[in-house]
Structures are given as C-alpha cells and as structure tokens.
Amino acid sequence: MTWTILAVLNWTEQRFRERSVGTPRLDAQLLLAHILKHDRVYLYTHFDQPLSPDELAAYRALIQRRLAGEPVAYLVGSKEFRSLLLDVDARVLVPRPDTEILVETALALLAPAAAAGEEEGGKAGRVVDVGTGSGAVALALKKERPDLELLAVDRSSGAAAVARANAEKLALAVEVLEGDLLAPVAARGPFALIVSNPPYIPTAEVATLAVEVRKEPMAALDGGTDGLDVIRRLVHDAPPLLEPGGALALEVGAGQAPSVAQLFASDGRYAAATVATDLGGIERVVAARLR
C-alpha cells in the first residue's frame, strides 16, 4: 500500500476514534502538518503525495505518543492563543480558548485607564499576570495594549523560562519574574490590574481529569480541597498592590464563580464582583475593583 497524505490521515483518524481521542481528525492533521512542515491546507492540496519512510516513521512516533495521552500542543511544540503562536512544552499548561475570556475581561477593565492615560499623555498603567505559565495572558495583553507595562510571575523556573522565550520570540516587552504569587512584585506596584489563571481544580477531581490534562503540570492544576486555595490568597493579598480603582480578575472553574464572588464581598475592600461567561455558558472569570 502507498501511504499518501490522505490515506495516512484516514488511517490515523480511525485509530484515534477507536481510542476515544477527542478531536481525531484535527489531531491527525496537526501532527502530520507538523511532520511535513506545512500548514493544514497543504494536506488537502497535496492529498495524493506519498510520505517518505522517514516521514512515516516520525508520524507514527507522534501517533503513539498521542495515544499515550500527550497533548497535541506538546507534540508539535506550539499552541495559538489570540493570534499569538506560543511555544509550549510540559513545563506549562496548554493555553485554552476559555482563558481568552480572562484577556477580554482584563481589556474591558483597563479601558477607563487607557482613556485617562491618553488624556494625561502618559501610560495607562502597570499590569501583573500571576501564574503566567507560557505567558499567554500577559503577552496577549501586551500585544493588544502596547502602552501597558506588563509584569508576569510564575513560581516555576521552567514556566518562567518558557514565558521569557515566548516574549523574546514575539518581541513583546513583558518582564517575567520567578516567585510565589505576588511576592516578586510586592515593591513594584501600584497596579491598575492583577490578573491570574490560577490552579483551581479541587484535589479530589484531579484524578478524574482527561489523561492528556493530567500530563500538564500538576502544580498549575491542583487548587486544594475546594480548588480555591490560591484564589483566596490572591483576593486577600491583592488590595495593597492595587492603585485606587484597580482591579483583580481571576479565571475560575465551573461552578466556582458564586464562591469567588462571595470571597470578594466578604473581604470588604472590593466593590461588587462581575462575572463573565465563556462560549460554553460557564461562568469563567470573576473580577472586582477596589472600592
């Protein structure tokens, strides 16, 4: 049998379906496009092109790794996020579309500051992204609001290295610091906005996550008994680092928004929290400004 692009895609899709891979056709395409060093369109404009023995061997190796649960983003080494192509590996979470809601919320919260900055002829302010991982949120904000001063923090030196490399590759001026939550920026405020996609999966639920998700850094997933350990700390620790009217915006898990909104309300230093839903209708981001 001649293994053409179309033949190998069809075979791989069927194999992935049999093993309940979530997006079998797309995964087959992304892996093959990576091996051939072309985009996905090329696969269909050259569907009858035979694969060389080396290409077949390399593709089969990726198929086996995918079947073992490795995320496609790790296998191809990149993931797109709000038009930015980010390098990713097992040191960081794979950026997800849900987190784009966090970026959109941040941009909306920063809009009044932008107007004030324009009127004063200065910058709109400082923003810190806590638990930056690949740098997705910080880099997206810098790309869309170059007037901002962006700092990013991660306690993982590996994650910080990935974020720095992405900032350099994309030529976006984001300073990446290492340390626990807000500690590395305690002397760098005040901030117009603190934003975070923290670990928020309850510990007992981690074992029930999809195999590919459990291949991602556990420290970036496990949020403690109820998933809110890090969120509690951020809600408590953020106010002294925020400027008057500054805001804290947090990505949260399904069903957690009411509890997080109550954390803001109970603290007493914030105005009423707002909630933004993702495309699946899940309350995904909770944010509040200082009173």
Same domain, 135 and 32: no
Boundaries of domain holding 59: 5-68
| Average pLDDT score over the chain | 95
> What would the mean pLDDT of 109-129 be, rounded to a whole number?
72
Q: Which 3-state string (H, E, C) describes 152-200? A: EEECCHHHHHHHHHHHHHHCCCEEEEECCCCHHHCCCCCEEEEEECCCC
pTM of the model: 0.91
Predicted local confidence at residue 112, as pLDDT: 72
* Cα angle value 79/85/91 (rounded, 5°): 50
Q: What is the CATH number of the domain that holds 16?
A: 1.10.8.10
pLDDT tens string 195-212: 999 999 999 999 999 999
| C-beta of residue 174 within 8 angstroms of C-beta of residue 142 | yes
Q: What is the pLDDT of residues 137-169, one digit of tens each?
A: 999 999 999 999 999 999 999 999 999 999 999
Do residues 56 and 194 share a domain? no
Domain count of the fold of the chain: 2
Together in a domain, 42 and 135: no
* Residue among 91, 73, 92, 65 nearest 34 (CA): 73
**CATH number of domain containing 159:** 3.40.50.150
Percent of the chain residues topping a pLDDT of 90? 93
